[in-house]
Structure 1
Amino acid sequence: MPSTPPAPGPRPPAGVDPAVMAARYGRPRQGRRGVIVAAVVAALVVVAALVWQTTTAMNRTTLHTEDLGFTVQDATHVTVRFNLVTDPGATVRCTLTALNSKFTEVGFKEVVIGPVKAARTAHEADVTTTEPAVTGSVKSCEVLQP
């Protein structure tokens, strides 16, 4: 009678039927190939995400604003002064706001600037208000795609 070699992996304790152990705890794993494949796939996904993020960041136009100040002209107007820092040639839309003493927005204006010729440019715009304002500033800016 030919003998079969023992199966790889941990052996059940002496006197315990391997079929009972398999039924109770499942069959022992035969290899780690699936774990290795999953790890390689996960590593490739991480590398692809980093490459995509880097490429996107390199193609993004820089944009930054610096509030320089404001002047309340009268009960219905405030002038907002600011610097715009962006890539030369970019066109930007900025939202300017005026607030009252309770920090409620009482004026709003969108201005389109550009294409700018220098990286840093100075701007000012009048914002019409519905009641006297105590401050004016740049709320947000976004680069307009050509």
Structure 2
Amino acid sequence: MTSEDPSATEFPASNSLANRYGGQKRGLSRKAKRNIVIGALVVGIGFAAYVATGSATAPVTFKDIGYSTVDGTQAEVDYQVSKSPSATAKCAIKAMDSKFAVVGWKVVEIGPNNPEQDADGGRTTAQRTVLATESPAVSGVVDNCWIVDSGK
């Protein structure tokens, strides 16, 4: 005569697992899900506003317009600089060869603008910088621009 294993018939499998690992977890309520979605939207809109206003209020921006190679020892870089009309900015201009090595470099100062000078109240000015180069350049760009502290 064989007898059944008492441990197998003591509890059903679902009760046995619940005792060992805990019961089923309750899902989030509808209100909690809605609050999470609303919170995520508020954070997303706040981040988008921060990015949009941060780039719009940059103290100085620049845009490359073009370049030309005068000869093997000179290049010209054309660009626009936008800043407050009363501010003074400095821009680093570079010329590069076909292997992207810098063959010419110059830091130029862009002084205050006359507000009546341009259609946008003197914020944007067109610039041309002539660079001396070590070897023939195949491109010329603005590397960076920054506002000069007037207290120094």
Matches within 5 A, 1:60-75: 60=58, 61-72=60-71
Which ranges in structure 2 are unaligned for 5 or more consecutive residues? 1-10, 115-121
Written as runs of structure 1 = structure 2, the 5 A alignment for 1:1-146 is 16=12, 19-24=15-20, 26-30=22-26, 32-33=28-29, 36=33, 37-60=35-58, 61-72=60-71, 77-87=73-83, 89=85, 91-100=88-97, 104-117=101-114, 118-129=122-133, 131-135=134-138, 137-144=140-147
> Is contact 1:63–1:143 with CA below 8 Å preserved after alignment?
no
Q: How far does residue 66 in structure 1 lie from its aligned partner after superposition?
A: 0.7
Q: TM-score, normalised by structure 2?
A: 0.57
Q: 1:26 to 1:116 in 2, by over 3 A?
A: farther
Structure 2: how far apart are the matches of 1:128 and 1:88? 29
The count of residues paired between Structure 1 and Structure 2 equals 128
- 1-side partners of 2:97 and 2:14: how far apart? 81
| Percent identity for Structure 1 against Structure 2 | 23
Query: Aligned letter for 1:43?
Result: L
Change (3 A) 1:50 1:98: closer
TM-score (structure 1 length as normaliser): 0.59
> Unmatched 5+ residue regions in structure 1?
1-14
1:98/1:133 contact within 8 Å kept: no
* Aligned 8 A contact 2:75 2:95 in 1: no
Cα distance in 1 for residues equivalent to 2:77 and 2:40? 50
Q: CA deviation at 1:134?
A: 4.1
Distance in 1 (alpha carbons) for counterparts of 2:146 and 2:62: 7
Deviation at 1:58, TM superposition (A): 3.0
The 3-state SS of whatever aligns with 2:53 is helix
